[in-house]
Structure 1
């Protein structure tokens, strides 16, 4: 493994070294061109009580009176030393805001990753095993509908059915309102996690269903699958036996590579469900043109997606030795 792992890590590290500066410049440019005035967003309804001199003083304290390129150079210099600045929205260091909210986002995205992988892979196997029959048609139809449905609409639909209509699950927050962290039990946390996880999982389930089905259909039509079927093996046994081993590796690779989409889907889900994670903080920072916080969250997201893609590459080579460099040279 060491023969291909070290070059792979080196190659990805080189990519990260040029990707981070480019992403930082692009995002800072977009934030600077945004039509939202950070001072106006901060003042809000108190605009009549804040005069022009006070507005200029606030802008000077935040460094907004300098040209955009100078502000970026100052931010980049501080970021190299680990200082991402202070959040205008939360009036706290950006690193502290990210550290406080990242565990909630990681819990949500991690649970959605596991649920969508299990559900998408299982439904893809069932669809392939029942190819051409009604379960296959229903599963493929559901996958297409989910792929075309906006995430926020799915979240609102889940709230309307399970929270408002049936009253089975809570509609918001990571815990019952009014309780301290010590008073909240595991059952309460899991209950509040269900609807957000399902809403975020929609992003990852559809591609997995269709990809797993296609891979398994290819296996069933291959000489190996035809040979086993000729000796009396049924489609269900083939799907969840040798077919599962055939489709599991590519499914995991595709799912890890799409981890960024899950993180992006969590932004809308956290806003709809008032989940106290980075997604909700991103929306608040965008509405207030909070450049330091947006830059910090963007860098954290970039690293998260980068790690997901790296794990996908490693998993692909571990599960399929044919993808390793030495195999391609043979």
Structure 2
């Protein structure tokens, strides 16, 4: 159903126009575009189960190899952003609940609503303008300095190039976790056992530590691991904005270039990351709350 013709995209309109019908037919057979969609899918799925996801039409390399190279770059962004957004989201949510209806709560809620309605690519461009163009603190894009030999690239160089994309992903992921944590924490703070704790003379910090955090732990875990899907989806826009050579940018390139083997491989890997995250969350439920066993 895509309007992009894979033959015109990968061979070129001019080259395709100079081919004979026999040559065009051979190219179609090589890429399998002359077969029915269902037959193509099952042929792909059979090989994918064996670990063979095919050859990328654009990179002319094994799809598994390309995904592994791109994933190594993306996992740095996604992992760091996932941890930071979780920590700041929970902290802001708890603080807003404890300071409910005060100026602190209103500022945090306003921040979350603003961030939740902000497009990821716009936030990325804003950070580039401020921190790369105006202040010249960080490079504008890519994962390594331009023109530098790979053997000369240091860990510090990679970190500097990853800071702005990571911050963008982290900031965008805070809002959802913070708002949900706030609601759960408010329920806890209004409970009878918290009222009893106050009657015993416990301070706000003791109540948060011994009653609040322990009782919102399961919802927090659910939100944190569910946010993996948002992080994975967000990398597509953020990596494209910062020209960061990761899995997200590879997905955009594969989609625009009609590179179906690479696009399918990225889809499977992305879905697997989300599945593993949800599976780990379910396992942690049993560890934290023995009643669930």
Residues 1:116 and 2:82 are matched in the alignment: no
- Note if contact 1:163-1:171 (Cα within 8 Å) is conserved in structure 2: yes
Q: Which moved more, 1:71-80 or 1:272-281?
A: 71-80
Structure 1 counterpart of 2:260: 291
Residues 1:230 and 2:199 are matched in the alignment: yes
Structure 1 runs (4+) deviating above 4 angstroms are none
The Cα of 1:258 is off from its aligned counterpart by: 2.2
In 2, Cα distance between the equivalents of 1:322 and 1:91?
53
Structure 2 counterpart of 1:42: 10
Structure 1 counterpart of 2:234: 265
Structure 2 counterpart of 1:72: 41
The Cα of 1:236 is off from its aligned counterpart by: 4.5
Q: How many residues align?
A: 290
In 2, Cα distance between the equivalents of 1:151 and 1:186?
26
Structure 2 counterpart of 1:143: 112
Structure 2 counterpart of 1:209: 178
Instruction: Find the residue that maps to 1:169 and give its secondary structure.
Output: coil
Deviation per CA, 1:143-178: give whole Å up to 9, x if none. 111111111111111112211122222221112222
Q: Which moved more, 1:136-145 or 1:156-165?
A: 156-165
In 2, Cα distance between the equivalents of 1:60 and 1:220?
66
- Note if contact 1:204-1:255 (Cα within 8 Å) is conserved in structure 2: no
In 2, Cα distance between the equivalents of 1:49 and 1:153?
38
Deviation per CA, 1:266-288: give whole Å up to 9, x if none. 11111111111111110000001
Q: Which moved more, 1:309-318 or 1:292-301?
A: 309-318
Deviation per CA, 1:120-165: give whole Å up to 9, x if none. 1111121112111111100011111111111111111111221112
In 2, Cα distance between the equivalents of 1:221 and 1:120?
21
| Structure 2: stretches of 5+ with no match in the other structure | none
Instruction: Find the residue that maps to 1:87 and give its secondary structure.
Output: coil
Match of 1:280 among 249, 257, 270: 249
Instruction: Find the residue that maps to 1:171 and give its secondary structure.
Output: coil
Residues 1:246 and 2:215 are matched in the alignment: yes
Change (3 A) 1:161 1:259: same
Instruction: Find the residue that maps to 1:122 and give its secondary structure.
Output: helix
In 1, Cα distance between the equivalents of 2:189 and 2:104?
17
Match of 1:85 among 51, 54, 58: 54
Instruction: Find the residue that maps to 2:216 and give its secondary structure.
Output: helix
Residues 1:192 and 2:192 are matched in the alignment: no
Instruction: Find the residue that maps to 1:188 and give its secondary structure.
Output: helix
The Cα of 1:55 is off from its aligned counterpart by: 4.2
| Structure 1: stretches of 5+ with no match in the other structure | 1-32, 325-330
Structure 1 counterpart of 2:95: 126
Please give the residue correspondences for 1:298-309 in structure 2 after superposition, counting only pairs within 5 Å.
298-309=267-278
Structure 2 counterpart of 1:97: 66
The Cα of 1:38 is off from its aligned counterpart by: 0.8
Match of 1:315 among 278, 281, 284: 284
Residues 1:106 and 2:75 are matched in the alignment: yes
The Cα of 1:253 is off from its aligned counterpart by: 2.3
In 2, Cα distance between the equivalents of 1:238 and 1:56?
73
Deviation per CA, 1:53-93: give whole Å up to 9, x if none. 25444323222222323322322222232211111111111
CA RMSD of aligned residues (A): 1.8
- Note if contact 1:84-1:292 (Cα within 8 Å) is conserved in structure 2: yes
Change (3 A) 1:249 1:70: closer
In 2, Cα distance between the equivalents of 1:102 and 1:82?
16
What is the TM-score with the length of structure 1 in the denominator?
0.82
In 2, Cα distance between the equivalents of 1:276 and 1:318?
38
